[in-house]
A and B are shown apart, each in its own frame.
Chain A
Amino acid sequence: MNPRLTAATTRRVLEQIRHDPRTVGLLLVVPSLLIGLMAWIFNDGRLFSAVGPDLLGLFPFIIMFLITSITTLRERRSGTLERLMTTPLGRFDFIVGYAIAFGLLAVVQSLIAVGFAVWVCGLSVQGNAWLLVLVAVANALLGTTLGLFASAFAATEFQVVQFMPLLVFPQALLGGIFVPRDRMPDVLRAISDWLPLTHAIEAFQHAAGTTDSGSVLREVAVVLAWAVAFTALGSVTLRRRTA
């Protein structure tokens, strides 16, 4: 890995996004709109405070997963990836460059979403609100790296969109948003222990509902470990030579 080439890639990805102001707008505003809608639906501060953290965990993950998987699929299909792989650019320069670019976007997105949830919608946070932002960013990185990896298995945009119900929804169902995990059948709970999104959701619940920063950071570490694992898996799918 070469920091100069990684930084060049990050800058290029951000330049591409800057040319698409509508995407930037959607990226920054949509999570807050959905959180606001949820707060309105629940119409009850206490209930919303129970579900709000889960939503903060889900949105950045889903949005980053979609954006990354589609942009990297486009690189694979347009031939730019093939061309880059004939240059000195390393596979990790490519992936980490993307992760940093989307990670930076995730920081802005999370600041807006957390700020909106806490100050406008009245989400009660027991601990440090900055921890919520940290968890949101870690979770967006998880979505980014999973999207990078998943794009290798799709040949078309239609397929990659189908990966969302395949890879994201089961994790959301098993992560304890709809049914608390301790009320799930043992087998499902055991599976959910291993799913990255479960840890992300736990991190949000700890961050919002307790003052126990240690347990939040522990869950964040698990989420980041998964992000590193997806990065490594994703880099294996980038090939300099193809058949």
Chain B
Amino acid sequence: MVNALAVEARGLTVVRGRREVLHDLSLGVPAGSVVGLLGPSGSGKTTLMRSVAGSQRIRSGTLRVLGLTAGSRSLRARVGYATQAGSVYDDLTVEQNLRYFARVLGAPAGDPSRVLAEVDLEDHANRMVGRLSGGQRSRVSLGVALLGTPELLVLDEPTVGLDPVLRADLWSLFRRLADRGVTLLVSSHVMDEARRCDRILILREGALLADETPEGLLALTGTEDAEDAFLALAGGKVA
């Protein structure tokens, strides 16, 4: 990697509707690492992820993704994005969804079957997405993000509604991807997952509250687990 940072924001300000959601945000996501984005709902996590994925208009500041301005044309096949809502077609089968997005992304023909195995949906390939459980549906969405060879994955709450076994499986997949040099920016509500990240970014009300390693976060807050650390930060006990 030429650039040490896969994502770099400087003075990023984003306005949605009449509300300023991100205020003068500066942060960096090191290339080849798994970075967790944590924060209460409404803190701006999704807006930050949309900005990185290139679908959010930016009011001011700069946002560089893989060395280019976020939303650049040449980034479209290099950044994989899974939205919170899922953003897959309920009236298609799992396989048809993957095949369509694979064609759109110019991914190799064998990619849908590779991805089916990675998100553990091989047994459901021919089922309609609309008939799947919430957790299965979000895995289809994750599968779409894994198509092609994205260098950066932006995953908005990919493990919501999954049982602990599946969640652990996905986090080990994330780790394998990072070992291959892929950068992952993963948002989560589950503070437990923070421990599996290389770095943790904590957002609150559109501002960066912390940018730490998991160990650093615990040391900083004098707490023993991520949940307490977050409560300590959110409560303003640490300046």
The stretch that binds A, out of B24-32, B102-110, B115-123, is B102-110
Q: State which residues 1-54 of A face B: CB under 8 Å.
A: 4-5, 8-9, 11-12, 15-16, 19-20
Q: How far, in angstroms, from A242 to B71 measured CA to CA in the complex?
A: 12
Contact between B104 and A241 (Cβ–Cβ < 8 Å)? no
Contact between A16 and B83 (Cβ–Cβ < 8 Å)? no
Per-position 1/0 for B71-107, Cβ under 8 A of A: 1000011010101011111111000100011011110
The stretch that binds B, out of A86-94, A107-115, A164-172, A178-186, is A86-94
Q: Indicate which residue in A4, A12, A243 contacts B89 across the interface (CB closer than 8 Å).
A: A12
Contact between B103 and A5 (Cβ–Cβ < 8 Å)? yes
Given A19-B91, A79-B85, does the pair A243, B16 have CB atoms closer than 8 Å? yes
Given A79-B83, A240-B71, A243-B16, does the pair A87, B55 have CB atoms closer than 8 Å? no
Contact between A82 and B55 (Cβ–Cβ < 8 Å)? yes
Is A83 an interface position by the 8 A CB rule? yes
Contact between A80 and B105 (Cβ–Cβ < 8 Å)? no
Contact between B104 and A87 (Cβ–Cβ < 8 Å)? yes
Given A15-B96, A241-B55, A241-B57, does the pair A86, B76 have CB atoms closer than 8 Å? yes
List A contacts of B186 (CB < 8 A): none
Given A78-B87, A83-B83, does the pair A12, B55 have CB atoms closer than 8 Å? no
Q: How far, in angstroms, from A39 to B55 measured CA to CA in the complex?
A: 52
List A contacts of B56 (CB < 8 A): 241-242
Is B234 an interface position by the 8 A CB rule? no
List A contacts of B103 (CB < 8 A): 4-5, 8
CB distance from B238 to the nearest CB of A (A): 34
The chain B residue sitting closest to A7, CB to CB, is B103
Interface size on A, residues (CB 8 A): 25
CB distance from A20 to the nearest CB of B (A): 7
Q: Indicate which residue in B85, B91, B105 contacts A16 across the interface (CB closer than 8 Å).
A: B91
Contact between B57 and A79 (Cβ–Cβ < 8 Å)? no
Given A5-B103, A8-B103, does the pair A82, B83 have CB atoms closer than 8 Å? yes
List A contacts of B79 (CB < 8 A): 86
The chain B residue sitting closest to A77, CB to CB, is B85
CB distance from B100 to the nearest CB of A (A): 4
CB distance from B95 to the nearest CB of A (A): 10
Contact between A241 and B71 (Cβ–Cβ < 8 Å)? yes
List B contacts of A243 (CB < 8 A): 15-17, 57
Contact between B91 and A8 (Cβ–Cβ < 8 Å)? no
List B contacts of A84 (CB < 8 A): 104
Q: Indicate which residue in A8, A79, A85, A242 contacts B100 across the interface (CB closer than 8 Å).
A: A8
Q: How far, in angstroms, from A88 to B101 measured CA to CA in the complex?
A: 10
Q: How far, in angstroms, from A8 to B16 measured CA to CA in the complex?
A: 33
Q: A78-B87, A79-B85 are in contact. List 13 more A-B contacts (CB 8 A).
A: A12-B92, A15-B92, A16-B89, A19-B92, A79-B87, A80-B87, A80-B88, A80-B89, A84-B104, A87-B104, A88-B76, A88-B106, A242-B56
**Interchain Cβ contacts under 8 Å between A and B, 16 examples:** A8-B103, A8-B104, A12-B89, A12-B92, A19-B91, A20-B91, A79-B85, A79-B87, A80-B87, A80-B89, A86-B54, A88-B77, A88-B106, A240-B55, A241-B57, A241-B71
Listed from nearest, the 3 A-B pairs whose CB atoms lie closest are A79-B87, A8-B103, A83-B87
